[in-house]
Amino acid sequence: MILKNVSRSRSALPLALLGTQLASVACDKGPSSQDSVSHNSVSSALAPPSVAPSSQASGVENTVVFEGVPVAEGPRLAILPGQGVGPIRIGANAATIARLMKKPCQYVDKAVCRYSGRAVEFFFDEKGMTRHIHLHRARRRLGPEGVMFGQFNGNFPSSAEFPLRSRIRFGMLAAGVVELMGPPTEILKEWPPETRNHPSAHAVVSVVAYPGMWLEYDKLESGSMVLSGIILKKD
């Protein structure tokens, strides 16, 4: 399967929180210089002027195009920012990943071990060790006309610092995420290559930073902007 190369013009996307509801996404506005983020206002969510998905995933595996909501499968994995998922840590190789996932990689090459049905990808460095982990919302596409991801089986564990974090789910509005986890440390004006070069970049409208991870928000056909990707990384 060859993915189309998509380049879209992006505009600044202010996110104003009113109570716990996300205000409408405002388009065609110029960039803001504000970098600070308060609990009551998440502003200046900026996207780069154009994003072209990488050709890295050409020839990706075929998988089921889900008619309904996909069912989660495999071991349940805790989302651990800065560390990994479940027992799998950043730094694991493909053999360790397959053993702990209890299933061989659905697709694997020198760059990635992908479980599209389980909505998780493990990206490797030049030594074949996991550099970052990318989780996805169910039915998110691997490219504008690519296969759909399935259902990720896991969530954030609660902690003393984030007692409500376990309630966060893919598909939540940004306001809901902020309500449960607090404001991000940064709204990225320039998206990281982990987002920019991924085939799902065609749908991303905002990327925000929390310790040990980036959160990606996609704009759906309905116009809603929802949590669609989580990138776990070392700070």
Residue among 91, 84, 82 at smallest CA distance from 235: 82
- Number of domains present in the structure of the chain: 1
> What pLDDT shows up at residue 37?
45
Q: CA of 124: how far to CAs of 25, 109, 193, 220, 233, in Å?
A: 35, 9, 14, 29, 12
Q: What is the pLDDT of residues 9-53, one digit of tens each?
A: 333 333 433 333 333 333 333 333 333 344 444 433 433 333 333
> Quick one: which of 138, 210, 220 has its CA closest to 180?
210
17 inside domain:
yes
Domain annotation covers residue 65: no
pLDDT at residue 112, as a whole number: 97
pLDDT, one tens digit per residue, over 199-217 is: 999 999 999 999 999 999 9
Give the pLDDT score at 15.
40
For β-strands 84-85 and 88-89, DSSP reports them as antiparallel
Is the pLDDT reported for residue 65 higher than 50? no
The verdict on residue 5 lying in a domain is no
Residue 164 lies in a domain: yes
Q: Is residue 67 part of a domain?
A: no
Looking at residue 143, what is its pLDDT? Answer: 87
Let me know if residue 178 belongs to a domain: yes
End-to-end CA distance of the chain: 34
Please give the residue that has the higher pLDDT: either 64 or 88: 88
pLDDT, position 147: 86
Cβ–Cβ under 8 Å, residues 134 and 54: no
Q: Is residue 132 part of a domain?
A: yes
- Is residue 26 in some structural domain? yes
Residue range(s) defining the domain that contains residue 85 = 13-52+72-232
* This prediction's pTM: 0.75
| pLDDT for the residue numbered 225 | 95
pLDDT for position 146: 84
**SS3 assignment, position 228:** strand
pLDDT digits (tens, 9 = 90+) for 98-154: 999 999 999 999 999 999 999 999 999 999 999 999 999 999 999 888 889 999 999
Which of 21 and 169 is assigned the larger pLDDT?
169
- pLDDT given at position 56: 38
